[in-house]
Structure 1
Amino acid sequence: MLLGAVDLGSNSFRVEIGRVEGDRILTQSYWKETVRLAGGFDKAGALTPEIQARALAALARFHERLAGLPPERVRAVGTQAMRIATNAAEFLRKAEETLGYRIDILSGHEEARLVFKGCAQTLPRSEKRRLVVDIGGASTEVIIGRGLDAERYESFRIGCVNTSIRFFSDGRITQKSLERATTACAAELEESISAFGRGNFDEAYGSAGTFGAVSDICRTLGWSDGEVRPEHLDKLRKMLLEAHDIGSIRFAGLKEDRREVIAGGIAVLSAVFRVLGVESMRPASGALRMGLLYDLLGRVSNRDTRDVTIETLMETSRLDREQAARVADLTETIYRRLKPKADPEKLRYLRWAALVHETGMIISSSRYHRHGHYIVMNADMPGFSRREQDTMAALVLSQRGTLKKMEPYFGELISKEAAVALRLAVIFAHARTDVELPLMDFTRTDEGLRIRIEEGWLNAHPLTAYLLREESEAWDKIDDHLTVEKF
């Protein structure tokens, strides 16, 4: 089986195809293009037409590289540059059309988790506490974990591209600009000392392009076997000052596409060593792409990280599990009646949302749907992309109350059928006891949705009948009618 991972990084775009052999994934092909997305913002914080054109050209070539792999076996993600771009949604639509696959924008925490997962899979097995640092184009992920599991992680908005643009935009490298860059990066990392500083880890590893470039220089110059120590960074800073400007940098072992951003990268790495008290860091080859591939392997082999996350959220929210399962089952049944050819992945999001629909009750039973919306949208949820969390949060919000609040979400994020299914499930399960659905049929008309329910059942359940009439009135208020009739 082949799996594909596409990393739309802030500096480079990468695509990797892995071949699954048992529980291992072996790289079958790899391709990288330097796009410098983080260097393509206008004054309004939007990606410029020029950088978009460059990115889309790379994605068109990636589409060919993926050679028709089915959608469920490809995971494409965007990172910090796409997290902050003011026109990210517009660019994302074009990028998905060009690549031919859905692209998820990762949160900083999810990116960090996947980086550690990828590195852990390629490092020798150990129970030592490992610090992994991934310096990208516009963010730096810092993670500590044991074995295959990240225990704590954070993402900081400093990277080789944005630091280079901020402090070396004129191409000159001076003692003052280099020290200012390093100090500014250290200030960003300062808050992480207690969680990630010396004493919290036994060994340190660097991942991705910046650290790989520095490690290659150390190896090529004969300073080490790829290990990076503080004295090596001191030498590199001296070499930068001797070069005077970016165009004059000619370090043995440094690839040409790294020359423009190496000064910013060294400033970030120096800050990491200084603040976290790192004395030695070795390269780890796994990185984000390998983490994506192993996470994808879990999804296609029924070991989905997202199921574990939902289970954890249910536990921490102290949910009524019987009611959660009851509403989830009813929601799924009704949705399948409304959408007989339902997309299995969309059905999974709907079921997950139904399972945690009462998570807001941990804050208050009043307006719990709004509290739940906030929790699901903002919680650290391993395995889920930003859009997946937003989708489930919108579904949780839709479960009750007026529908006017849902108009911004309908169509773009969730379907009205999904909202109907969840709202009806909550109504039918209002007594918090097992319920057998009545005979029903659903018909979509020009005016909206018509539901016909057997009269005897409605007469035997007067409160449910009343709640269904209220539901009909709620849809009337947004001119998308839901009519309940007896037969």
Structure 2
Amino acid sequence: MLLGAVDLGSNSFRVEIGQVHGDRITTQSYWKETIRLAGGFDEAGALTPEAQARALGALSRFRERLGNLPPERVRAVGTQAMRAATNSAEFLKKAEAALGYKIDILSGHEEARLVFKGCARTLPPSEKRRLIVDIGGASTELIIGEGLEAERCESFRIGCVNTSIRFFQDGRITAKSIERAVLACQAELEESITRFGAGNYEEAFGSAGTFGAMSDIARASGWSDGTVTLEHLERIRKQLLEAKDVKNIRFDGLKEDRKEVIAGGLAVLLAVYKTLGIETMRPASGALRVGLLYDLLGRVSDKDTRDITVESMMSAAQIDREQAVRVADITEKLYTALRPSASPDDLKYVRWGALLHEVGMNISSSRYHRHSWYVVSNADMPGFGRQDQDIMATFVLSQRGNLKKIEDALDTIITCEAAFALRLAVIFAHARRPVELPVMTFIRKGPRELVVKLDGVWLNAHPLTDVLLKDESAAWAKIGRQVTFERF
């Protein structure tokens, strides 16, 4: 089986196709293009047409590389530059069209988790606590974990591209500009000392292009086997000062496309070493794209990280598990009846959202749907992209009350069928005990009109539900949609 991972990084875009051998993945093909997306913002914080053109061209070539891999076997993600762009949503549509696959925009924490997973899979097994430092084009991720799983993750908005633009935009390198860049990065990282500083880990590794470049220089210069010390970084700083300009940089082992951002990358790395008290770091391959492949393997082999996340959130919130499962079962059944063409992926998100519909109950029992929306919107949810969380959060918000609050999202973020299925499930399960659903049929009479025929005998035996269904009909009428409940 082949799996594909696409990393839309802030500096480079990468695509990797892996061949699955049991629980191991080997690289079948790999392709990288330097895009400098983090250097393509205009004054309003939007990606410029030129930056978008570079990106879309690369994605169209990646599409050819991916061939005809089915959608469930490919995961494409965007990182800090796409998180920050003010026109991210507009660009995302064009990017997905060019690539031919859905693209998730990762949160900083989710990016960090996947980086650790990728590095852990390529490093020798160890019981030691490991620190992974991943310096990208526009962000730096710090992760501590053991084995294959991350325990602490954080993302900081400093990378080789944005730091180079901020402090070395004209290409000139001076002692003052390097000092200012290092101090600015240290200020950004200051809050990380307690959780990631010396004493929190036993060995440290560097990942991604910036550290890889420093490691290559150290190896090619005969300083080490690729291990990087603070002394090595100071030697590189000295040689950059002697070069005085990016155009004059000459390092053994340094790739041509790294010259433009080496000064910014060095400043970030110096700040990391000094802030966290790092003495040496070794290179770790794999990083985000390998983490994506292994996370994807879990999805296709019934070890989905997202299932674990939802389960953990349910436990942490101490929700009524029986009620959550009851509502999820009813929602899934009704949604399938209302939308028979729903994909397996759609059904998963509907079920996950329904399972989490009361995750805000321990904050407030009267406005729990709004608190549930906030939790699902903002929690760190391993395995989920930012858009995924937005979809589920809106779905959770739709469960009760007036529909004005989600009117603009209907049929764009969530479907009417999904919202209606969850609202009906909450109504049928209002007594919080097992319920046998009435016989129901759904008849569409137009794009905004639905007739629901129910067993009249059942309704007579459940008078409160009958009243709640009448209220439901009135709620839909207020946003110009007609839902009629009829007896048979």
TM-score range, shorter chain: over 0.9
AA of the residue aligned to 2:451: R
1:281 to partner: Cα distance: 0.2
Q: What do residues 43-102 of structure 1 show as CA deviations (whole Å, max 9, x unaligned)?
A: 000000011011000000000000110000000000000001000000000000110000
AA of the residue aligned to 1:466: V
Asked whether 1:476 is paired with 2:455, we answer no
Q: What do residues 197-219 of structure 1 show as CA deviations (whole Å, max 9, x unaligned)?
A: 00111000000100001100000
Asked whether 1:193 is paired with 2:207, we answer no
1:412 to partner: Cα distance: 2.1
1:411 to partner: Cα distance: 2.1
Q: What do residues 141-166 of structure 1 show as CA deviations (whole Å, max 9, x unaligned)?
A: 00000010101010000000000000
1:410 to partner: Cα distance: 1.5
Q: What residue number does 2:259 align with?
A: 259
- For residues 411 and 15 of structure 1, the distance between their equivalents in structure 2, rounded to whole angstroms, comes to 32
1:71-470 equivalence runs, <5 A? 71-446=71-446, 447-470=448-471
AA of the residue aligned to 2:252: A
AA of the residue aligned to 1:49: P
- For residues 468 and 218 of structure 1, the distance between their equivalents in structure 2, rounded to whole angstroms, comes to 71
Q: What do residues 179-203 of structure 1 show as CA deviations (whole Å, max 9, x unaligned)?
A: 0001100110000000000011100
- For residues 84 and 449 of structure 1, the distance between their equivalents in structure 2, rounded to whole angstroms, comes to 41
Asked whether 1:58 is paired with 2:58, we answer yes
1:251 to partner: Cα distance: 1.0
SS in 2 for 1:62: helix
Paired residue total: 487
- For residues 380 and 409 of structure 2, the distance between their equivalents in structure 1, rounded to whole angstroms, comes to 22
- For residues 451 and 267 of structure 1, the distance between their equivalents in structure 2, rounded to whole angstroms, comes to 64
- For residues 409 and 158 of structure 1, the distance between their equivalents in structure 2, rounded to whole angstroms, comes to 34
SS in 1 for 2:360: helix
SS in 1 for 2:263: helix
1:110 to partner: Cα distance: 0.0
- For residues 121 and 337 of structure 1, the distance between their equivalents in structure 2, rounded to whole angstroms, comes to 42
The answer to which of 401-410 and 148-157 deviates more is: 401-410
- For residues 408 and 133 of structure 1, the distance between their equivalents in structure 2, rounded to whole angstroms, comes to 41
Structure 1 runs of 4+ with >6 Å offset: none
AA of the residue aligned to 1:462: P
AA of the residue aligned to 1:207: S
SS in 1 for 2:408: coil
Identity of aligned residues (%): 72
AA of the residue aligned to 1:222: G
1:106 to partner: Cα distance: 0.1
SS in 1 for 2:290: helix
Q: What do residues 25-59 of structure 1 show as CA deviations (whole Å, max 9, x unaligned)?
A: 00000000000000000000000001101100000
AA of the residue aligned to 1:468: L
SS in 1 for 2:19: strand
1:480 to partner: Cα distance: 1.1
- For residues 150 and 431 of structure 1, the distance between their equivalents in structure 2, rounded to whole angstroms, comes to 40
AA of the residue aligned to 1:157: R
SS in 2 for 1:281: strand
SS in 2 for 1:445: strand
> Where does structure 2 lack aligned partners over 5 or more consecutive residues?
none
Q: What do residues 428-451 of structure 1 show as CA deviations (whole Å, max 9, x unaligned)?
A: 000111111111110111241111
> Where does structure 1 lack aligned partners over 5 or more consecutive residues?
none
